[in-house]
Amino acid sequence: MIDRPVEDVWNYITDISNMPRWEDSGAVWRQMSEGPIQVGTSIQSSITFLGRTVTFDLRVTEFERNRTFSVEAVAGRTRGTKVSYLLVPVEDGKTRLSRVTDARFHGIARLMQPFVGSITKRTGALEARNVKRILESQR
Convert 30-98 into a string of H (helix), E (strand) and C (coil).
EECCCCCCCCCCEEEEEEEECCEEEEEEEEEEEEECCCEEEEEECCHHHCCCEEEEEEEEEHHHEEEEE
- The residue that leads in pLDDT, 49 or 27, is 27
Q: Is residue 42 within 8 Å of residue 57, measured between CB atoms?
A: yes
pLDDT at 76 (0 to 100): 76
**CATH superfamily of the 6-137 domain:** START domain (3.30.530.20)
Give the H or E element holding residue 124. helix 116-137
pLDDT at 44 (0 to 100): 94
- Return the SS3 of 15: coil
Q: Per residue in 113-126, pLDDT tens? A: 555 544 555 565 67
Give the range among 59-63, 69-73, 78-82, 84-88 with minimum mean pLDDT.
Answer: 78-82
Q: Binning pLDDT at 50, 70 and 90, where does residue 102 land?
A: confident
Boundaries of every domain in the chain: 6-137
